[in-house]
Amino acid sequence: MEQPRPVTALGDVTVVEATAGVAGGYCGRLLAGLGADVIKVEPPDRLDVARRAGPFPEDVADPERSAWHRYLHAGKRSVSFGVDTEVFERLVGRADVLIDDGSLGAPPAVRDRYDALLADHPRLVVVALSPYGLAGPKAAWASSELTDLAAGGWLQASAPGRPPLMPGTPCAHHAAGVFAAVGALLALRARRHTGRGQLVETRMNEAFLSMLTAPTSLYVMAGLDGYRTGDGYPYAIHRCADGHLGVSILTQTHWTGLCELMGTPELADDPRFASGVQRADPAVAAELDARIAAWAAEQRAEDVFERGQAMRVPVAVVPAPAEVLTSPQYAARGYWHDIVDPDLGPLRLPGHPFRFRDGGTVDPGPAPHRGEHDAVFSALAPDEEA
Amino acid sequence: MAGALDGVRVLDLTAWQAGPFLTMALADFGADVIKIEAPSRLDGWRGAAGMMVDLAYEKGPLWLTMNRNKRGISLDLRSAEGRELFLRLVAEADVVVENYTPRVMEGFGLGFEVLRAANERIMLVALSGFGATGPWRDYSAFAFPTEEVSGLAYPTGFPDSGPMLVGHSVTDVFAGAMGALAVLGALHKRERTGQGDAVDLSQIEGLTTFLARELLDAQLHGRAPVRRGNRRADAVPHGVFPTAVAGHWLALAVRDDAEWVRWCEVAGRVDLAADPTLATLAGRTAAIDRVEEAVGAWSSTLAGDDAARACQEAGIAASPALKPSGLLADDQLWADGFFVVLDRAIVGAHPYPGPIVRLHDTPATFDRPAPRYGEHTDEVLRELLGFDDAALAGLYERGITSRVPLAQDWR
């Protein structure tokens, strides 16, 4: 039987991305990686975060020379029209999905604009990203990454002697972008049944809280008001001889394996450490932490990682970005998307988060200059395909 | 109105958090998710320590959150008969999701080719820590190791600390959400190809996409990320400040010079507003300790809610750092009913976090709380495979399925 030609998963989907933030841009990037035609709307008064943040060559800010832009907007097309132009309306009229994170207006008033678009284009899916939703007492509140984290419960507790800590990467907003992409595809799926598009919302406060699956249920069912883990046994990062080492003990097998790995198998037989419940006692956990820290200090991270994993103990390296780039696992799987950028030279970009056995994702083409595709779309007559 | 995924059936072999989060996202929108657990090996997320004591395996708050809207069956895939029943279920399903290390499904004799032979339209999503190939394929991982190995942990921390973890097992959720996207992408593709497919999702690969900016900075400038606590270069003050209530904090981000002047007015610090050395970002950065001290002195006199509201009335981004009690009392989260109250046997009625995304016309529905162990074994085998009482009784007798889990404790 003849093999079917690889088909991209979303090769028949057109997306208009009217966003400037991480979540919306990453949402569009995921859809582009699945083969969708993503057209980014970049009016001059609303510059995208990746164009603003860089990094730039020689650290000279230039929205056309941001390396992050080369990743986040790879494979998208770009127009520089405003969202109040006739050509924007035509663009949206041809699209399956519109992603907006404030380009079309601010909550609560923007809801009217969405409703009008949905009325004019009944098959359109509008994915609206907002800090607090489109209605309600905080809908008009100002926000930033930090306050989104606070409102979504991420800063509810702190490591001993510290204030609550925000992540060093905008991981929560990226993940909200994944949620938004899930929402877009759910709505396209629903459209098969209903024949109609709809409004999809990713509200950062709700999305961020959804990412913390434990705290609310632990509070409701166990009375724990403020939860954080990862600063000491059973889950902690320790300094080691050449960097840092993560030691995470979830199961009894992990514990007995760790005792073996540390060269102190007798610890596994110590009745004070026999069960997870006993080891969770704060004094016991502190003692174990000290033992693990003293052992880790003498170890080399990659060596322990390999030896530990061979024994099924999930110890882990804690690589800096440069070390991630040279990790043998990513290379062996052909993860990286290596490009040569005309302005920036060779760049190694992350690949798609997952792969289909028979194809379906793409390594997207270059990221566009702002307005690079203006001519294609401004020439567009109302019903013409681009 | 019908759910977005009505008519989609998912066989869920996953345990712990990443896979169950993936299938939760599908179940909330109408997919028929059938969660399969072996009689002698329960989902560890039911509560690792003391799971078998006093029905603890039925009461785990984390497990109950993650497994709502699913049906639960008990089936031993290691037995020839259980494996054969599973393949008959595959013939009636659209999607199989598993998050074992790659060798496990092969060990069951349930590799993708076997599943495809049972159903050419089946889609398999495998959510392993490191991917189905490569030198680390058999390594094991869960939330914290993937946070570390993917590079996400390195930039997090204070200037005087090493790398720190985010503090919640969020990377499981990130990977699960990517897996949900993979399922939906595969379903979309299947509409055009008519063929099933297998998805290989390496959790670290998914997470590393979130590190793109730092990876590129390393390439352009050879720099490693600097750990800055809650400070950011483009906004001063920017941080988490104490309030009048111990252990409750205020998050505040003053994003430009005009906001700084407005904050000074909110705080009654006209002296600071008039200080030319603080009028610019560069000036406030140079005096950052003094600026933060002033913010802390002000915020310490107020409840977090009141401090945030005062800032917001002046258009400044601020929020109380909500704790669970605050989240469950938050008028914004309740305004449109984010929390969902589910009444579950054994534990009673409790509010749970709602869906991961809002669909206005085909919203998430919450038809059932998390299943009791093996609650739907009989129902599913009757409905999908036509079992009768006698056939079911035989399965229980032979230990292929069980009404109660056999003794086990993860400790």
Regarding whether B163 and B59 lie in a shared domain, the answer is yes
Which CATH number characterizes residue B340's domain? Answer: 3.40.50.10540
**The domain boundary residue, chosen from B295, B323, B351:** B323
Give me the pLDDT at residue A1, please.
Answer: 47
CATH of A235-319, one of 3.40.50.9100, 3.20.20.80, 3.30.70.260, 3.30.1540.10: 3.30.1540.10
CB B411 within 8 A of CB A276: yes
The distance of A51 to chain B (nearest Cα, Å) reads 11
Give me the pLDDT at residue B54, please.
Answer: 83
Give me the pLDDT at residue B140, please.
Answer: 87
Regarding whether B257 and B112 lie in a shared domain, the answer is no
pLDDT in tens, B109-124: 999 999 999 999 999 9
Is B285 inside a domain boundary? yes
Residue A123, class by beta-carbon neighbours within 10 Å (0-12 exposed, 13-18 middle, 19+ buried)?
middle
Give me the pLDDT at residue A330, please.
Answer: 98
Domain count, chain B: 2
- Interface mutation vs chain A, best among B94, B140, B148, most A CBs within 10 Å: B148
Of A214, A237, A239, the CB nearest to B148: A237
In whole angstroms, give the CA distance from residue B16 to residue A367: 38
Q: Give the β-pairing of A243-248 and A235-240.
A: antiparallel
Architecture of domain A14-213+339-378: 3-Layer(aba) Sandwich (3.40)
Regarding whether B312 and B348 lie in a shared domain, the answer is no
Regarding whether B275 and B187 lie in a shared domain, the answer is no
Give me the pLDDT at residue B49, please.
Answer: 59
> Is residue B312 within 8 angstroms of chain A, CB to CB?
yes
Which CATH number characterizes residue B283's domain? Answer: 3.30.1540.10
Q: Which of residues 325-364 of B touch A (CB under 8 A)?
A: 325, 327-328, 330-333, 335-336, 338-339, 347, 350-362
Q: pLDDT in tens for each of the 386 residues of chain A?
A: 455 556 899 999 999 999 999 999 999 999 999 999 999 999 999 999 999 999 999 999 999 999 999 999 999 999 999 999 999 999 999 999 999 999 999 999 999 999 999 999 999 999 999 999 999 999 999 999 999 999 999 999 999 999 999 999 999 999 999 999 999 999 999 999 999 999 999 999 999 999 998 888 889 888 899 999 999 999 999 999 999 999 999 888 999 999 999 999 999 999 999 988 899 999 999 999 999 999 999 999 999 999 999 999 999 999 999 999 999 999 999 999 999 999 999 999 999 999 999 999 999 999 999 999 999 998 776 555 55
The distance of A201 to chain B (nearest Cα, Å) reads 5
Give me the pLDDT at residue A5, please.
Answer: 58
Q: Do domains A14-213+339-378 and A235-319 have the same CATH topology?
A: no
Residue B103 has pLDDT above 60, yes or no: yes
Is B293 inside a domain boundary? yes
Is B296 inside a domain boundary? yes
* DSSP string across A146-186: HHHHHHTTTTS--STTS-----SS-HHHHHHHHHHHHHHHH
Give me the pLDDT at residue A85, please.
Answer: 94
- What does the pLDDT average to over B260-287? 98
pTM of the predicted structure, to 2 decimals:
0.97
Contacts of B300 in chain A (CB under 8 A): none
Is B393 inside a domain boundary? yes
Is B357 inside a domain boundary? yes
Residue B409 has pLDDT above 80, yes or no: no
Regarding whether B289 and B148 lie in a shared domain, the answer is no
Token pair of B274 as six digits: 């008039």
**The domain boundary residue, chosen from B268, B290, B323:** B323
pLDDT in tens, B381-403: 999 999 999 999 999 999 999 99
Regarding whether B170 and B79 lie in a shared domain, the answer is yes
- Residue B46's φ and ψ, nearest 5 degrees, are -65, -10
Give me the pLDDT at residue A230, please.
Answer: 95
ipTM of this predicted structure:
0.98
* DSSP string across A249-280: --SHHHHHHHHHHTT-GGGGG-GGGSSHHHHT
Contacts of A70 in chain B (CB under 8 A): 216
Is B406 inside a domain boundary? no
What 3-state DSSP class applies to B106? helix
In whole angstroms, give the CA distance from residue A33 to residue A240: 38
DSSP tally for chain A: helices H, then strands E? 16, 12
Regarding whether B85 and B36 lie in a shared domain, the answer is yes
Regarding whether B187 and B46 lie in a shared domain, the answer is yes
- Residue A39's φ and ψ, nearest 5 degrees, are -110, 115
Regarding whether B32 and B160 lie in a shared domain, the answer is yes
Does B1 contact A194 at a Cβ distance shorter than 8 Å? Answer: yes
Regarding whether B179 and B110 lie in a shared domain, the answer is yes
- What does the pLDDT average to over B134-144? 93
Regarding whether B46 and B168 lie in a shared domain, the answer is yes
Nearest residue in A to B243, CA atom? A163
Domain assignments of chain A as residue spans, ordered by start: 14-213+339-378, 235-319
pLDDT in tens, B204-222: 999 999 999 999 999 999 9
Domain membership of residue B281 as a residue range: 238-323
> Is residue B366 within 8 angstroms of chain A, CB to CB?
no
Give me the pLDDT at residue A277, please.
Answer: 85
CB B34 within 8 A of CB B67: no
Regarding whether B200 and B143 lie in a shared domain, the answer is yes
Give me the pLDDT at residue B1, please.
Answer: 54
Give me the pLDDT at residue A383, please.
Answer: 57
Q: Which of residues 136-155 of A touch B (CB under 8 A)?
A: 136-139, 141-155
Does B48 contact A8 at a Cβ distance shorter than 8 Å? Answer: no
